[in-house]
Amino acid sequence: MRAAFSILQKDLRMEFRSKESLLAMWIFSLLIFVIFNFTFEVSRLVMLEIAPGLLWVAFIFSGMFGLNHSFAVEKENGNLRSMALMPVEGGQIYLGKFLSVTCIMLLFEILIFPIFIIFYDLQISMQMLMLIPVVLAGTIGFTSLGTILSAIAVHTRNQQILLSLLLWPLVSPIIIWSVTLSGMVLGGDLPASFYSLLTRVVAFDVIFFTISYMLFDFILED
Amino acid sequence: MSVPALQIDKVSKDFGRIIALRNVDLIVQPKEFVSILGRNGAGKTTLLNIISGVAKPSSGSVQLFGTDPTATVNKAKLAVISHEMFLYSNLTAIENLEYYARMYAVSDLDQRIEDVLNDVELRHRRFDLVATFSRGMTQRLTIARALLHKPSLLLLDEPFTGLDQHAIGMLIGLLQEQKNLGRTILLTTHDLHTAKALSERYVVLEKHRIIEDGLMADTSPDEIRTKFFSGLTTEKEL
Ligand SMILES: Nc1ncnc2c1ncn2[C@@H]1O[C@H](COP(=O)(O)OP(=O)(O)OP(=O)(O)O)[C@@H](O)[C@H]1O
Ligand SMILES: [Mg+2]
């Protein structure tokens, strides 16, 4: 755990120091909301239907950005290779990178959510608290997969293309379910299927995380 | 007889059609200081990468202290200085060292960091971002980082790159100190005089093979140059 937390601490320190990626992520999602809000002349009802999808578009793009940035830093001076030389289990390195990418993505989601509420003029209610487990589960699914795939993609020349190619097919069920779950929370009373669907997302998270944790040693070896 | 620090058996390495190493055998005993000499592209860096475990040999085997190079016990003993600096430019010197010290579970962390910063004369810049460092200062920090966990096997790939005369003297001093502490050291360099000053043994790589394995005491830089690097006038071109 000590090693994982050292990685987390280092990453957060660098992220807050440069701020560039946090700011870029924030502006980008602002743009998404602005564009969709003003280009489509649709009724409020339709808008509310697509709002959860837009929210996740903003989340996912920021997540992609965060992932790319987090691993670009590791690639910069051969640092990923230096990690492979350290007397630390691959799983610990995975955990460290996973935690930092997840923290940054969650932080960003907290920043973007108020803007989302304002743009779509949503009623704040107690039920919105149910978004917390939904966003957590969806985000962890995305970052647990994204972290290992980024580490694989770093070794290749067209890093971002490969990352997208590998990531999207695997992560899309989680995203689709997260959008559905968010829609349920924002759309009034929770249907009974809410909890079973949420459990399914959590189950996927656990599977992705466990497999990645165990496989990370092989990925560092290249 | 004790377990060798390094044992390389019939190691070959190719990158697709490019041959980098062919049937290399090398045994290095603990506390030996070996200089690896050879022209550009001879395979020196590839050899060090295979020893450190970051590259896999195409065939043959490598053992450090009797076990696999990637075993955790070996990783903890190993230090690598390579063409890559292994530093985060967006962290300060001291933050980089703290991070490394934690990853290597260095005990007495603050004191150790203080010591290596003094060793490479960077204490006055310890709170500055690595991004603001000059090339030579970055290289000095790379050296500090490598010594942090008191490694027993050092793999140094042209560690003098970018250093001024004073810093070269400083690094020679540090390496002599490491030698006196009983560390095993492999050094690649194009500077034969430095190699002679530091190491008792040298090997020459040429055309992917070790073509000479001898003692520095039996030869001189000039003799090595005429024998293996003839046709070249300056050391720089070697
Ligand atoms: N990643 C790689 N992909 C393809 N070829 C490589 C790779 N690394 C090294 N080589 C080839 O292997 C051979 C040996 O290279 P190496 O870097 O080991 O030489 P070197 O002795 O360290 O040279 P220098 O003195 O220039 O540092 C060269 O022909 C080089 O082109
Ligand atoms: Mg080289």
ipTM: 0.89
Distance CA(B116)–CA(A114), nearest Å, equals 48
Distances (CA, A) of A174 to A97, A144, A210, B164, B186: 20, 12, 16, 55, 50
Distance CA(A209)–CA(A215), nearest Å, equals 10
Ligand 1 centre to CA of A78 (Å) is: 16
Closest ligand 1 atom, residue B38 Cα: 21
Point out the residue among B70, B78, B84 whose CB comes nearest to the CB of A78. Answer: B84
Per-residue pLDDT of B12-40, as tens digits, reads 999 999 999 999 999 999 999 999 999 99
Contacts of B87 (CB under 8 A, 6+ apart): A77, A79, B96, B130, B138, B141, B142, B145
Average confidence (pLDDT) over B180-194: 95
Chain A residues whose beta carbon lies within 8 Å of the beta carbon of residue B53: 84-85
pLDDT at A28 over 90: no
Closest ligand 1 atom, residue B48 Cα: 18
Q: Classify domain B1-70+154-162+184-238 at the CATH topology level.
A: Rossmann fold (3.40.50)
Average confidence (pLDDT) over A28-55: 81
Q: Is residue B215 helix, strand or coil? A: strand
Give residue A25's pLDDT band: very low, low, confident or very high (50, 70, 90).
confident
Per-residue pLDDT of A130-160, as tens digits, reads 999 999 999 999 999 999 998 888 777 666 7
B71 touches chain A (CB under 8 A): no
Write down the pLDDT at residue A50: 86
The residue that leads in pLDDT, A21 or A174, is A174
Chain B residues whose beta carbon lies within 8 Å of the beta carbon of residue A72: none
| Mean pLDDT over each residue of chain B, to the nearest integer | 93
Identify which of B37, B46, B160, B236 to mutate to test ligand 1's pocket (most ligand atoms within 8 A of the CB): B46
Name the DSSP class of B231.
T
Find tokens 């190719």 and name the residue.
B14
Q: Where are the domains of chain A?
A: 2-221
The pair of three-digit structure tokens given for residue B73, joined into one six-digit string: 């016990």
Contact assessment for residue B20 and residue B56, using Cβ atoms and an 8 Å cutoff: no
Which segment of A25-39, A134-148, B83-97 scores lowest on mean pLDDT?
Answer: A25-39
Ligand 1 centre to CA of A97 (Å) is: 31
CB contact under 8 A, B88 and A76: yes
Write down the pLDDT at residue A102: 97
Per-residue pLDDT of B124-138, as tens digits, reads 999 999 999 999 999
Contacts of A176 (CB under 8 A, 6+ apart): none
Give residue A214's pLDDT band: very low, low, confident or very high (50, 70, 90).
very high
The pair of three-digit structure tokens given for residue B184, joined into one six-digit string: 């095993």
pLDDT at A89 over 60: yes
pLDDT at B193 over 90: yes
The residue that leads in pLDDT, A129 or A24, is A129
The pair of three-digit structure tokens given for residue A178, joined into one six-digit string: 């997260």
Ligand 2 centre to CA of B155 (Å) is: 12
Percent of chain B beyond pLDDT 90? 87
Write down the pLDDT at residue B231: 60
Q: Where are the domains of chain B?
A: 1-70+154-162+184-238, 78-150
Ligand 2 centre to CA of A218 (Å) is: 26
The pair of three-digit structure tokens given for residue B120, joined into one six-digit string: 């490479």
Give residue B227's pLDDT band: very low, low, confident or very high (50, 70, 90).
confident
Per-residue pLDDT of B39-65, as tens digits, reads 999 999 999 999 999 999 999 999 999
Q: What is the per-residue DSSP string for B79-120?
A: EEE-SS----TTSBHHHHHHHHHHHTT-SSHHHHHHHHHHHT
B86 lines ligand 1 (CB under 6 A): no
Nearest chain B Cα distance for residue A5, angstroms: 10
The chain A residue lying nearest B95, using CA atoms, is: A10
Distance CA(B90)–CA(B132), nearest Å, equals 9
Write down the pLDDT at residue A222: 60
